[in-house]
Amino acid sequence: MKGNYTFTIIKPCAVQSGHIGAILGDIADAGFRVAALKFVRLNKKEAQEFYKIHEERPFYGELVDFMTSGPIVVAVLEKEGAVEGFRSLIGSTNPKEAAPDTIRAKYAESIGRNAIHGSDSDDNAKIEASFFFSRNEIFNSEGGFVENLNA
């Protein structure tokens, strides 16, 4: 069964360009509920750990430098079929290939500085949300704690 939660990051470029409000507005307009939210800055070790899966890719160093270059907004979002729906909302990794009206088409500067992250599976949504949020920082629609994300 598909889970109802995904994890997102508004990346340093989009924060720096003043797009936090517009992007959160697009996310809300697409029917996602914010279950957790914070404004943070990653250090190098944290960024290396978060993107460990890309360790062998040629852009890994550039990616870590970029993701530590300024503050980011991290959030857990709820909607039916959240992971897939959110990947559609953000568009392709390369903004030149992203469909019109997607968040990356609107706010990304380049494939590296592409404005926003979205989890690619229910398992990764859970792992990534847990990287930034503790159990008492993720809320269900009644305001209670989410006990088991995407269980």
Catalytic positions, written as ranges? 117
Taking a C-beta distance cutoff of 8 angstroms, is the pair 93, 54 a contact? no
Is 33 annotated to bind a ligand? Reply is no
In our burial notation (b when 16+ CB lie closer than 10 A, e otherwise), range 129-141 reads beebbeeeebbee
CB of 37 or CB of 111, closer to ligand DAT: 111
Q: Please state, in angstroms and rounded to a whole number, the distance separating the CA atoms of residues 66 and 12.
A: 7
Is 136 annotated to bind a ligand? Reply is no
CB of 87 or CB of 140, closer to ligand DAT: 87
Interacting residues with ligand DAT between 75 and 114 (CB under 6 A): 93, 111-112, 114
Q: Which tokens hold the place of 52? A: 């460990």
> Residue with structure tokens 């909607």?
79
Minimum distance between the CB of residue 57 and ligand DAT, rounded to whole angstroms?
A: 7
Q: Per-residue x/- marks for ligand DAT, 31-70, CB under 6 A?
A: -----------------------x----x---x-------
CB of 120 or CB of 137, closer to Mg ion: 120
CA 52 and chain centroid, separation: 16
Q: Please state, in angstroms and rounded to a whole number, the distance separating the CA atoms of residues 76 and 65.
A: 24
> Residue with structure tokens 């990356």?
104
19 binds, options ligand DAT, Mg ion, none, Cβ within 5 to 8 A by partner type: none
- The answer to whether residue 117 forms part of the interface with ligand DAT (CB under 6 A) is yes
Give the footprint of ligand DAT on this chain (CB under 6 A). Answer: 54, 59, 63, 93, 111-112, 114, 117, 120
